[in-house]
Structure formats: structure tokens, C-alpha cells
Amino acid sequence: MRETTGPPRTPTAPAPTTTAGGAVAARRARRISGLGLMLLLLCLAVLASVLVGARGLSPGTVWLALTSTAGGEADIIVNEIRLPRTALGLLAGISLGLGGALMQGHTRNPLGDPSILGVTFGAALAVVLGIMLLDTTTLYTQAWFAFAGAAVAVVLVYAIGSVPGRGPTPITLALAGTAVSWMAYSLTSGLVLLDQSTMEDFRFWRVGSLVGRDPAILGPMLPVVVLGAVLALTNTRALNALALGEDTARALGFRIGRARVTGLLAITLLTGVTVAACGPIAFVGLIVPHLARGIVGADYRWLLPYSALMGAALLLTADVLGRFLAPPGELQVGVVLAILGAPFFIHIVRRRRLLSL
């Protein structure tokens, strides 16, 4: 009954070595095999994303299309539609999973979602301004506006949420992020309502989707995601310590300010580039860390890789399902995630124990 409200499971930074050595080894083995299982699931999702769709392709055809440059119909489908879409989903899923876990760690709030930092709505505001003032209609140009907007929003949130000389506390950070988000959201809605043609462009941007995005975005996206992921993984030990409270973390010798800056930078890069590439895809960043925490526990060194893999698998699966749910068209991945993902999430919340933060 009361599993979820217990004290936060201790982040096992220094593993107890003396008596429980066997148990620790067993747990590590379990975690590693779990990671392998995730990877397998992700591979299946990737395969499905390439093979399945309005026109199903056999693995042989796909292989042929990949290896030769014959230029047939299958060639075009695979190389110009399915592959970029799958790659985009992969990168976006990894980014959102990592970003969500980082965000929940830094705000220590179960409602922590990458968008809380102002990233999503900052990006939306920039996109709308771009459409209105400069008439940017191509999604590729809009992506740069989105990234710039996301970055500006995060800097603003950090500045507002910081106690002078001490950096942000979880509560001020979350509140500042929410305030900035809402302001950007209000401005966006106001501008869109005043100008119907902008709304016509914008209402499709704001439903996040993997399809119809310019594959050229993948080039600049990849290094940003890699950089963000590396920063995120260097942040794990500090997050474990921060879960015990800032004072404890400081007493353990961690530099709080630096850890926060690293974490927020990683979140900005990961989510900013995802919003730029796919539009706002909500929910992945919010639920994946909770699901991962339910499986692997609160140790961020494991939680982050799990979240990354689960995020990508979930996003790709939702995208594949969206290709069938509303024939002859498709459902956008954000909608599928919400409509199928949320009930699944609720089921998990009801059935399994989730660790509170």
C-alpha cells in the first residue's frame, strides 16, 4: 500500500562492500542484463520503424535498398523517409529520456519535465516570432529559431531562479521555469490568436512529430545530442549526492554550482535540439524516468542510461503505432504517446511501486 512514500532509496554511491558483496554483484549483473534487454527492445523498435508502414517492406528489400543504389521505389522509401525518421526518433528519444531524468534530479520534483525549464515554450515563442516577423516557413529555418529560443529561455530561468552567489535551489528553479514557460506560452498564444495565418502554420508545429521534418536537421543535431549525453553522464555522481540534499552533497565534496551548470547545460542542449527538430513532444521526458526508476532504482549512474534507451524505444514504438491508428493518415507521435502511453503509465503507477524522489 505504502510503497511509494517511503524515504528516497539511497543513491548507492559508495557500494557497501563488506558483507553484501554478493548481493551487490548480483544486482549489478541484473542491471547489466536489464540494460541488454533494453538495448534489444530498442533494436526491435528501430527495425520495426524501418520495415513497417503504409507500405510494408521485407528485410531483404530493405537490405538491398541500403547496400545498392538502384534507385527503386523501396530505395526512396527506405533512404529518404524511413531512415531519417528512425534516426530522428532515436536521437529525440535518447535526448528526452536523458533530459527528463536530469530535470527530475535537479529539481527533485516528480513533475520535473524538460519543458519546465522553459525550453519548450521558449522555442515555441521564437518559432512564432520567426513565422510572423521574418516569414520563416521552412521547418529547417524554424529549427534554428527554436534552438535559440530554448537557449534564451534557459538562461533567463537560471538567472531568475538563482540565489545570488549560491546558484538555484530546486524550488526556485522549478518555479522560475514555470513562470517563464507560462509567460512565453501566453505571448505565443496571444500572437497566434491575433494572426490567423501564423496560427495555420503554428498549430502543426506545436503537435510534435517525427514525420515531415527536414532530414538535413540530423547533421547538426547529432553532435549536439552526443555532447549533451556526455555532459549528462558526467553529472550522475553529483546527482546521486544532490538527492541526499544540497548540504550533504556539499559536505561530500561536490561542487553544487558546477554540477547544476553542467546539468542545465546538458538539459538545454538535449531538449533544445529535440524541440528544434521535432517540435514539442511532451510526456516522454516525464514518464520515462519514473518507469526507469521503478526498474533500476534511484542510482543516477544506471538511471540515465536506462532512461535514454527507454526513451528512444518508447518514442519509436509510439511512432510506429501511429502509422496504423488513423488510416489512411497517421497520428502524430505526441498524440499516440499521450493516448496510448498515458494509460500504460497509469497502469504502471497503479500496479508497481514507483520510487518517490
Distance, in Å, from the CA atom of 10 to the CA atom of 15, rounded to the nearest integer, reads 11
Distance, in Å, from the CA atom of 65 to the CA atom of 104, rounded to the nearest integer, reads 42
Q: Is there binding between residue 203 and other proteins (CB under 8 A)?
A: yes
Distance, in Å, from the CA atom of 232 to the CA atom of 226, rounded to the nearest integer, reads 10
- Compare residues 76 and 171 and give the one whose CB is closer to other proteins: 171
Q: Is there binding between residue 175 and other proteins (CB under 8 A)?
A: yes
Q: Is there binding between residue 350 and other proteins (CB under 8 A)?
A: yes
| Shortest separation between residue 332's beta carbon and other proteins, angstroms | 8
* Cell triple for 169: 535551489
> Contact letters (x/-) for other proteins, 94-123, by CB under 8 A?
---------------xxx----x-------
* Cell triple for 28: 549489478
Q: Is there binding between residue 233 and other proteins (CB under 8 A)?
A: no
Nearest to 105 by CA among 224, 237, 13, 12: 237
Asked whether the CA dihedral 115, 159, 166, 171 is positive or negative, the reply is: negative
| Shortest separation between residue 255's beta carbon and other proteins, angstroms | 20
| Residue 340, CB-side half-sphere exposure with 13 Å CA sphere | 16
CB 338 within 8 A of CB 282: yes
- Compare residues 63 and 182 and give the one whose CB is closer to other proteins: 182
| Shortest separation between residue 140's beta carbon and other proteins, angstroms | 22
| Shortest separation between residue 19's beta carbon and other proteins, angstroms | 29
DSSP 3-state of 162: strand
> Contact letters (x/-) for other proteins, 267-296, by CB under 8 A?
---------------xx--xx--x------
| Shortest separation between residue 319's beta carbon and other proteins, angstroms | 15
Q: Is there binding between residue 172 and other proteins (CB under 8 A)?
A: yes
| Shortest separation between residue 341's beta carbon and other proteins, angstroms | 8
Nearest to 109 by CA among 267, 231, 289: 289
| Shortest separation between residue 345's beta carbon and other proteins, angstroms | 5
- Compare residues 31 and 206 and give the one whose CB is closer to other proteins: 206
> Contact letters (x/-) for other proteins, 178-197, by CB under 8 A?
xxx-xx-xxx-xx-xxx-x-
How distant, in Å, are the alpha carbons of 111, 152, 206, 294, 305 from that of 120? 15, 11, 10, 26, 23
CB atoms under 10 Å from CB of 137, counted, come to 10
For residue 80, the 8-state DSSP code is I
Nearest to 92 by CA among 234, 329, 274, 298: 274
Q: Which of 171, 216, 230, 251 binds other proteins (CB under 8 A)?
A: 171
Give the number of residues written for the chain. 357
Q: Taking CB under 8 A as the criterion, which residues in 326-345 touch other proteins?
A: 331-332, 334-335, 337-339, 341-343, 345
* Cell triple for 135: 516569414
Residues that bind other proteins in the complex, under the rule CB under 8 A: 1-2, 4-5, 109-111, 116, 160-164, 169, 171-172, 174-176, 178-180, 182-183, 185-187, 189-190, 192-194, 196, 199-200, 203-204, 206-207, 282-283, 286-287, 290, 331-332, 334-335, 337-339, 341-343, 345-346, 349-350, 354, 356
